[in-house]
Amino acid sequence: MAAPLASKAGSAGTTSKPPFPELDFRSGARVEELNKLIQEFTKHDQREYDDQRALEIHTAKDFIFSMLGMVQKLDQKLPVANEYLLLSGGVREGVVDIDLDELNVYARGTDYDMDFTLLVPALKLHDRNQPVTLDMRHSALCHSWLSLRLFDEGTISKWKDCCTIVDHINGATNYFFSPTKVADWFYESISIVLSEIQKKPQRGMPKVEKVEKNGTIISIILGVGSSRMLYDIVPVVSFKGWPAVAQSWLMENHFWDGKITEEEVISGFYLVPACSYKGKKDNEWRLSFARSEVQLKKCISSSLMQAYQACKAIIIKLLSRPKAISPYHLRSMMLWACDRLPASYLAQEDYAAHFLLGLIDDLQHCLVNKMCPNYFIPQCNMLEHLSEDTVMLHARKLSSVRSDPAEHLRTAIEHVKAANRLTLELQRRGSTTSIPSPQSDGGDPNQPDDRLAKKLQQLVTENPGKSISVFINPDDVTRPHFRIDDKFF
């Protein structure tokens, strides 16, 4: 961490200015320089969007939501009135805890300009007021199988082709919801719908540049005007309430106490299609607290978030091979740090450098000890499965960062600047050939009213990471209804 400020005793009751700048003890880097580099990274990483870009973002989002309405209409498997969770950043950015080793590598600037993750409930269990008990007898901690016996006969009939079947000695048949089979069905259904949409293209409609199945998620890249947007769509099981296995976490003191209500934090959780290291891929789901994390993010200071984003940019490049550490691990460490350290310290606006160095130290400590507890289920060690060779390899890589954080920050800045330059170049190159922007189609009766679009264009930019619900009438997929928290649009 940084060296303490030096001071000399002055006249009674006063202290003189430090004789030298504040330094990081390990690297000798000036803390002021590190702060400036983090600010520069943030400036290039968080770009401002003009009205045209915001409208393109809305158009892509509207297209995705309408497409999912058509998927529901295809075979009525998805809930009619569904509630999606839209997150800023793709799965590769660590917004949900899903293994990255099965995902194709996409690069910002080369493949896309903006990325989002959309959690789409295939099943919902929303009528429970008591802690939710899951079938964890066959699973590692933080994972579960899901029996359709929790649902009615109609649900079982619709989904049994996406289940693994277990026959018991007493003759009963149990259907376990399969994450891999659900992902296969979801990819096939989306492909069918997109094929039908593309048979009758409409002016101003987004161009589908890529549709790929990456493990159990479906990645779609859309071109809208001069923008390319990556949507990682994740089929999930949605629950209201809180899982019994995480009940003890609520009894502890946390950094968000008094800032947001417990009801906001425990409003719901998910099962995402990811298994443990030794788990059965066809049956095992992973608990996800993405909805709670959206709420907790409100309580994290901007300087800590800047340090987190900069640290994440460094480790994504540095620790990519072999796949062992994901940005989600770093997110968990940040949440633990918020519980451990005084709020007044974390609120310091000019402490981003201290926070960055601390996050690197924390990550290295977790690697050396092969221990990274899940924030919501601390008894689950997310690094338990790694080999000694792997953790020591990554710890040594992090040691090089810790020895020269300024140089690694400069590299991260150059990468994000290069991605931005590539995006601008592709926009200029494609400005005469890309599909027309929705703003130029005001006279087309088949297009949505521009006034509605302009009213909604601020949804993504003004509400990053918030829960955005959409209720779609499958008989009229052109009219989604949005809700952000308690506000309807």
Q: What is the pLDDT of residues 336-376, one digit of tens each?
A: 999 999 999 999 999 999 999 999 999 999 999 999 999 99
| Tally of CA atoms within 13 A in the half-sphere of 288 that contains its CB | 28
Lowest-pLDDT choice from 18-27, 61-70, 416-425, 478-487: 478-487
**Structure confidence at residue 456 as a pLDDT band (50, 70, 90):** very low
- Give 448's DSSP letter: P
pLDDT of 474 higher than 70: no
Contacts of 13 (CB under 8 A, 6+ apart): none
Q: How many CA atoms lie within 13 A of 262 on its CB side?
A: 9
Can you give the pLDDT at residue 130? 62
Please indicate, yes or no, if residue 285 is contained in any of the structural domains.
yes
Region 80-108 average pLDDT = 90
Q: Which two tokens stand for residue 275?
A: 């298994």
Asked whether residue 155 carries a pLDDT value surpassing 60, the answer given is yes
Q: Rounded distance, CA 219 to CA 117, Å? A: 9
Q: What is the mean pLDDT of residues 182-203?
A: 92
Tokens for 270, please give them.
Answer: 């998910």
Residue 13 above 70 pLDDT? no
User: What mean pLDDT do residues 188-215 have?
Assistant: 92
Tell me the pLDDT band of 454, cut-offs 50, 70 and 90.
very low
Average pLDDT score over residue span 280-297: 95
What is the predicted pLDDT for the residue at 475? 42
Task: Grade residue 7 by pLDDT with cuts at 50, 70 and 90.
Answer: very low
The H-or-E segment that residue 145 falls in is none
289-298, 379-388, 450-459: segment of lowest average pLDDT: 450-459
Q: Distance between CA atoms of 2 and 31, rounded to whole angstroms?
A: 7
| DSSP state at residue 18 | P
How confident is the model at residue 473, as a pLDDT? 41
Q: For 76-86, what is the mean pLDDT?
A: 91
Residue 322 inside a domain? The answer is yes
Please give the pLDDT value at position 344. 96
Share above pLDDT 70 across residues of the chain, in percent, rounded to a whole number:
81
394 belongs to a structural domain: yes
In a domain, 287, yes or no: yes
Q: What is the mean pLDDT of residues 147-167?
A: 89
Determine the pLDDT at residue 462. Answer: 55
For residues 269-298, average pLDDT: 95
Whether the predicted pLDDT of 239 surpasses 70: yes
* Global confidence as pTM: 0.84
pLDDT-wise least confident of 39-43, 402-406, 478-482: 478-482
Q: Do the beta carbons of residue 337 and residue 358 sit within 8 Å?
A: yes
Residue 105 CA, chain-centre distance (Å), reads 16
Position 333 in a domain: yes
pLDDT band at 213 (very low <50, low <70, confident <90, very high): very high
Better-predicted residue by pLDDT, 265 or 151 = 265
pLDDT over 70 at 478, yes or no: no
Instruction: Choose between 340 and 128: higher pLDDT.
Output: 340
Is pLDDT above 60 for 333? yes
Tens digit of pLDDT for each residue in 44-68? 998 766 778 888 999 999 999 999 9
Averaged confidence pLDDT in the chain: 84
Query: CA-to-CA distance for 101 and 113, rounded, in angstroms?
Result: 22
Q: Tell whether the model's pLDDT for residue 236 goes beyond 80.
A: yes
Domain assignment present for residue 12? The answer is no
Q: Measured between alpha carbons, how far is 446 from 484 in angstroms, rounded to an integer?
A: 26
Quote the number of domains for the chain. Answer: 1
Residues 396 and 400: their CA atoms lie apart, in Å, by 7
**For 162-179, how does the pLDDT look when each residue is reduced to its tens digit (9 = 90+)?**
999 987 666 678 899 999
Q: Is residue 446 part of a domain?
A: no
Least confident of 94-98, 122-126, 428-432: 428-432
337: domain CATH number? 3.30.460.90
Report the pLDDT value the prediction gives residue 126, as an integer from 0 to 100: 74
| Residue 434: predicted pLDDT | 39
Query: What's the chain's length in residues?
Result: 489
Q: What is the pLDDT of residue 453?
A: 44
Range with the poorest average pLDDT among 37-51, 56-70, 464-478:
464-478
* pLDDT tens, position by position, 398-449: 999 999 999 999 999 999 999 999 888 887 776 533 333 333 333 333 333 3
Q: Domain range spanning residue 281? A: 29-424
DSSP-based three-state secondary structure for 220 = strand
In the predicted model, is pLDDT for residue 184 greater than 50? yes
Q: What pLDDT score does 128 carry?
A: 56
Q: How far apart are CA 351 and CA 337, in angstroms?
A: 14
- 451 is a domain residue: no
Mean pLDDT of 96-113: 89
